[in-house]
Amino acid sequence: MITTGRIFDLVIILIVFGFTVYFIWRARRGRVSQLVKLPAVDAFEEGVGRAVEMGRPVHYTTAMVDIGQRTEWVEKVLGYYIMGYVAQMCASRRAQLYVSERDALTLGYVKETLRSAYERAGWPDGFNENMVLWHPWTTQPFALANWFQQVKPGANFMMGNLLFGTVIVAEAAALEGAFQIAYGDTPFLVATCEYVMIADEYYATSAYITKKPLLVGAITGNDYVKMLLLLVLIASVALLNLGIKDVLKWLAI
Protein backbone atom coordinates (compact mmCIF):
# COMPACT_ATOMS: atom_id res chain seq x y z
CA MET A 1 0.00 0.00 0.00
CA ILE A 2 1.35 3.41 -0.99
CA THR A 3 0.61 6.20 1.48
CA THR A 4 -1.12 9.24 0.00
CA GLY A 5 1.15 12.25 -0.17
CA ARG A 6 4.32 10.17 -0.56
CA ILE A 7 4.11 9.18 -4.23
CA PHE A 8 5.84 12.37 -5.37
CA ASP A 9 8.62 11.76 -2.83
CA LEU A 10 8.99 8.20 -4.11
CA VAL A 11 9.27 9.42 -7.69
CA ILE A 12 11.98 11.92 -6.70
CA ILE A 13 13.96 9.21 -4.88
CA LEU A 14 13.78 6.92 -7.91
CA ILE A 15 14.89 9.74 -10.20
CA VAL A 16 17.85 10.58 -7.95
CA PHE A 17 18.84 6.91 -7.78
CA GLY A 18 18.49 6.45 -11.53
CA PHE A 19 20.54 9.52 -12.49
CA THR A 20 23.27 8.68 -9.96
CA VAL A 21 23.64 5.06 -11.06
CA TYR A 22 23.62 6.02 -14.74
CA PHE A 23 26.36 8.64 -14.47
CA ILE A 24 28.50 6.41 -12.25
CA TRP A 25 28.16 3.71 -14.92
CA ARG A 26 29.17 6.24 -17.60
CA ALA A 27 32.19 7.40 -15.58
CA ARG A 28 33.40 3.84 -15.00
CA ARG A 29 33.30 3.23 -18.75
CA GLY A 30 35.55 6.19 -19.41
CA ARG A 31 32.93 8.81 -20.26
CA VAL A 32 33.75 11.05 -17.31
CA SER A 33 31.97 14.38 -17.11
CA GLN A 34 34.13 17.49 -17.11
CA LEU A 35 34.07 19.21 -13.71
CA VAL A 36 34.67 22.92 -13.34
CA LYS A 37 37.60 23.89 -11.14
CA LEU A 38 36.15 25.15 -7.89
CA PRO A 39 37.45 28.10 -5.84
CA ALA A 40 38.28 25.69 -3.00
CA VAL A 41 41.05 24.13 -5.12
CA ASP A 42 42.61 27.55 -5.65
CA ALA A 43 42.27 28.20 -1.91
CA PHE A 44 44.29 25.07 -1.10
CA GLU A 45 47.02 26.21 -3.46
CA GLU A 46 47.00 29.67 -1.93
CA GLY A 47 47.19 28.27 1.60
CA VAL A 48 50.18 26.05 0.84
CA GLY A 49 51.86 28.88 -1.05
CA ARG A 50 51.32 31.23 1.88
CA ALA A 51 52.91 28.73 4.28
CA VAL A 52 55.91 28.28 1.97
CA GLU A 53 56.42 32.05 1.73
CA MET A 54 56.40 32.39 5.51
CA GLY A 55 58.62 29.35 6.00
CA ARG A 56 56.02 27.74 8.25
CA PRO A 57 54.42 24.26 8.17
CA VAL A 58 50.97 23.19 6.97
CA HIS A 59 48.50 21.44 9.28
CA TYR A 60 45.66 19.18 8.11
CA THR A 61 42.95 17.38 10.06
CA THR A 62 39.76 15.48 9.27
CA ALA A 63 36.52 15.05 11.18
CA MET A 64 36.67 14.22 14.87
CA VAL A 65 34.71 10.98 14.43
CA ASP A 66 35.58 7.32 14.04
CA ILE A 67 35.58 5.79 10.57
CA GLY A 68 33.12 3.16 11.82
CA GLN A 69 30.48 5.62 13.02
CA ARG A 70 27.24 5.82 11.09
CA THR A 71 27.25 9.60 10.88
CA GLU A 72 29.75 11.76 9.03
CA TRP A 73 32.01 8.88 8.00
CA VAL A 74 31.56 9.90 4.36
CA GLU A 75 32.99 13.35 5.09
CA LYS A 76 35.93 11.70 6.83
CA VAL A 77 36.71 9.47 3.84
CA LEU A 78 36.52 12.42 1.46
CA GLY A 79 38.79 14.30 3.82
CA TYR A 80 41.40 11.58 3.34
CA TYR A 81 41.14 11.97 -0.44
CA ILE A 82 41.75 15.71 -0.18
CA MET A 83 44.57 15.03 2.29
CA GLY A 84 46.48 13.09 -0.37
CA TYR A 85 46.14 16.00 -2.77
CA VAL A 86 47.36 18.51 -0.16
CA ALA A 87 50.27 16.21 0.77
CA GLN A 88 51.40 15.94 -2.84
CA MET A 89 51.17 19.71 -3.20
CA CYS A 90 53.24 20.23 -0.03
CA ALA A 91 55.83 17.69 -1.21
CA SER A 92 56.21 19.36 -4.61
CA ARG A 93 56.84 22.70 -2.91
CA ARG A 94 58.99 21.22 -0.13
CA ALA A 95 56.56 22.42 2.57
CA GLN A 96 56.47 20.71 5.95
CA LEU A 97 53.13 18.97 6.53
CA TYR A 98 51.54 17.71 9.74
CA VAL A 99 48.36 15.65 9.85
CA SER A 100 46.43 15.23 13.11
CA GLU A 101 44.15 12.20 13.48
CA ARG A 102 42.04 10.94 16.35
CA ASP A 103 40.98 7.55 14.97
CA ALA A 104 43.60 4.91 15.80
CA LEU A 105 42.09 2.53 13.22
CA THR A 106 43.02 4.79 10.33
CA LEU A 107 46.53 5.84 11.38
CA GLY A 108 48.11 3.25 9.08
CA TYR A 109 46.00 4.38 6.14
CA VAL A 110 46.91 8.03 6.76
CA LYS A 111 50.63 7.23 6.83
CA GLU A 112 50.50 5.18 3.65
CA THR A 113 48.49 7.90 1.88
CA LEU A 114 51.10 10.48 2.81
CA ARG A 115 53.94 8.17 1.80
CA SER A 116 52.38 7.59 -1.62
CA ALA A 117 51.76 11.30 -2.12
CA TYR A 118 55.38 12.16 -1.40
CA GLU A 119 56.57 9.44 -3.77
CA ARG A 120 54.34 10.73 -6.56
CA ALA A 121 55.71 14.23 -5.99
CA GLY A 122 59.26 12.95 -6.40
CA TRP A 123 60.34 13.57 -2.81
CA PRO A 124 60.04 10.22 -0.96
CA ASP A 125 62.63 11.27 1.63
CA GLY A 126 60.32 14.08 2.71
CA PHE A 127 57.93 11.63 4.34
CA ASN A 128 58.34 10.98 8.04
CA GLU A 129 55.98 9.07 10.30
CA ASN A 130 56.32 11.87 12.85
CA MET A 131 54.25 13.97 10.45
CA VAL A 132 51.16 12.17 11.77
CA LEU A 133 49.94 13.40 15.16
CA TRP A 134 47.57 11.13 17.07
CA HIS A 135 45.20 12.75 19.55
CA PRO A 136 42.74 10.30 21.14
CA TRP A 137 39.13 11.43 21.21
CA THR A 138 38.37 14.68 23.09
CA THR A 139 42.01 15.63 23.62
CA GLN A 140 42.47 16.67 19.99
CA PRO A 141 41.19 20.29 20.14
CA PHE A 142 43.09 21.14 23.32
CA ALA A 143 46.27 19.44 22.13
CA LEU A 144 46.12 21.27 18.80
CA ALA A 145 45.58 24.64 20.47
CA ASN A 146 48.77 24.14 22.46
CA TRP A 147 50.61 22.72 19.45
CA PHE A 148 49.67 25.73 17.30
CA GLN A 149 51.31 28.06 19.82
CA GLN A 150 54.56 26.10 19.59
CA VAL A 151 54.75 25.32 15.86
CA LYS A 152 52.82 28.30 14.44
CA PRO A 153 51.54 26.76 11.18
CA GLY A 154 51.21 28.96 8.14
CA ALA A 155 48.10 27.12 6.91
CA ASN A 156 45.43 25.09 8.66
CA PHE A 157 43.01 22.84 6.76
CA MET A 158 40.02 21.39 8.67
CA MET A 159 38.11 18.94 6.50
CA GLY A 160 35.19 17.69 8.57
CA ASN A 161 33.16 18.38 11.67
CA LEU A 162 35.36 18.88 14.73
CA LEU A 163 32.27 19.03 16.94
CA PHE A 164 32.87 21.13 20.07
CA GLY A 165 36.51 21.57 19.06
CA THR A 166 35.64 23.65 15.98
CA VAL A 167 35.88 26.98 17.78
CA ILE A 168 38.94 25.97 19.79
CA VAL A 169 41.01 24.79 16.82
CA ALA A 170 39.92 27.52 14.39
CA GLU A 171 40.48 30.34 16.85
CA ALA A 172 43.85 28.99 18.00
CA ALA A 173 45.11 28.81 14.40
CA ALA A 174 43.71 32.24 13.59
CA LEU A 175 45.60 33.76 16.53
CA GLU A 176 48.83 32.44 14.99
CA GLY A 177 48.01 34.02 11.62
CA ALA A 178 47.37 30.76 9.76
CA PHE A 179 45.56 30.72 6.41
CA GLN A 180 42.51 28.53 7.07
CA ILE A 181 40.21 26.46 4.87
CA ALA A 182 37.44 24.45 6.50
CA TYR A 183 34.34 22.36 6.05
CA GLY A 184 32.04 21.66 8.99
CA ASP A 185 30.09 23.86 11.38
CA THR A 186 29.85 26.82 9.04
CA PRO A 187 28.57 29.46 11.55
CA PHE A 188 31.62 28.89 13.75
CA LEU A 189 34.11 28.98 10.88
CA VAL A 190 33.20 32.02 8.80
CA ALA A 191 34.67 34.37 11.39
CA THR A 192 38.10 32.70 11.52
CA CYS A 193 38.67 31.09 8.10
CA GLU A 194 39.69 32.59 4.77
CA TYR A 195 37.58 30.04 2.91
CA VAL A 196 34.72 27.78 4.04
CA MET A 197 33.26 25.04 1.87
CA ILE A 198 29.49 24.82 2.06
CA ALA A 199 27.26 21.78 1.49
CA ASP A 200 27.92 19.98 -1.82
CA GLU A 201 31.01 22.05 -2.57
CA TYR A 202 32.98 19.72 -0.32
CA TYR A 203 31.85 16.66 -2.29
CA ALA A 204 32.43 18.37 -5.63
CA THR A 205 35.93 19.44 -4.59
CA SER A 206 36.89 15.90 -3.61
CA ALA A 207 35.52 14.62 -6.93
CA TYR A 208 37.47 17.23 -8.90
CA ILE A 209 40.70 16.45 -7.05
CA THR A 210 40.54 12.65 -7.17
CA LYS A 211 38.75 12.18 -10.53
CA LYS A 212 37.33 8.94 -9.10
CA PRO A 213 34.45 7.67 -11.31
CA LEU A 214 32.24 6.95 -8.30
CA LEU A 215 32.53 10.51 -6.98
CA VAL A 216 32.37 12.23 -10.36
CA GLY A 217 29.36 10.17 -11.42
CA ALA A 218 27.50 10.82 -8.18
CA ILE A 219 28.12 14.58 -8.35
CA THR A 220 27.08 14.72 -12.01
CA GLY A 221 23.89 12.77 -11.33
CA ASN A 222 22.95 15.03 -8.42
CA ASP A 223 23.50 18.12 -10.54
CA TYR A 224 21.14 16.83 -13.23
CA VAL A 225 18.52 16.05 -10.59
CA LYS A 226 18.82 19.59 -9.22
CA MET A 227 18.31 21.03 -12.70
CA LEU A 228 15.28 18.79 -13.20
CA LEU A 229 13.75 19.88 -9.88
CA LEU A 230 14.41 23.50 -10.78
CA LEU A 231 12.51 23.03 -14.05
CA VAL A 232 9.63 21.41 -12.15
CA LEU A 233 9.56 24.37 -9.76
CA ILE A 234 9.58 26.91 -12.61
CA ALA A 235 6.85 25.02 -14.46
CA SER A 236 4.74 24.79 -11.29
CA VAL A 237 4.99 28.54 -10.65
CA ALA A 238 4.10 29.27 -14.29
CA LEU A 239 1.04 27.01 -14.18
CA LEU A 240 -0.13 28.57 -10.92
CA ASN A 241 0.16 32.07 -12.42
CA LEU A 242 -1.87 30.86 -15.38
CA GLY A 243 -4.65 29.85 -12.98
CA ILE A 244 -4.09 26.12 -13.17
CA LYS A 245 -4.29 25.33 -9.46
CA ASP A 246 -4.52 21.58 -9.96
CA VAL A 247 -0.73 21.53 -9.98
CA LEU A 248 -0.84 21.65 -6.18
CA LYS A 249 -2.84 18.42 -6.17
CA TRP A 250 -0.32 16.80 -8.50
CA LEU A 251 2.58 17.66 -6.20
CA ALA A 252 0.61 16.43 -3.17
CA ILE A 253 -0.09 12.99 -4.59
Residues 6+ positions from 74 with CB-CB distance below 8 Å: none
Do the domain assignments include residue 232? no
For 196-236, the pLDDT digits (tens) are 998 888 888 888 888 888 888 888 888 888 888 888 888 87
Could you give phi then psi for residue 181, rounded to 5 degrees? -125, 135
Most confident of 34-38, 146-150, 236-240: 146-150
Residue 136 structural domain:
39-209
Do the domain assignments include residue 194? yes
CATH number for the domain harbouring residue 142:
3.40.50
Do the domain assignments include residue 16? no
Do the domain assignments include residue 245? no
Q: How far apart are CA 253 and CA 6, in angstroms?
A: 7
Do the domain assignments include residue 158? yes
Q: How far apart are CA 210 and CA 78, in angstroms?
A: 10
For 4-22, the pLDDT digits (tens) are 556 777 777 888 888 888 8
CA dihedral 11, 12, 18, 23 (to 10 degrees): 160
With a cut of 50, say whether residue 109 has pLDDT above it: yes
The whole-number average pLDDT for the span 136-161 is: 89
For 47-96, the pLDDT digits (tens) are 999 999 999 999 999 877 777 666 667 888 888 999 999 999 999 999 99
pLDDT at 1: 47
Do the domain assignments include residue 252? no
Of all residues in the chain, the percent with pLDDT exceeding 70 is 91
CB atoms within 10 A of CB 127: 20
The structural domain count of the chain equals 1
Do the domain assignments include residue 63? yes
Tell me if the pTM is above 0.85. no
Q: How confident is the model at residue 252 (pLDDT cuts 50, 70, 90)?
A: low
Could you give phi then psi for residue 94, rounded to 5 degrees? 55, 40
Do the domain assignments include residue 223? no
| 146, 57 Cβ separation under 8 angstroms | no
Q: How far apart are CA 223 and CA 11, in angstroms?
A: 17
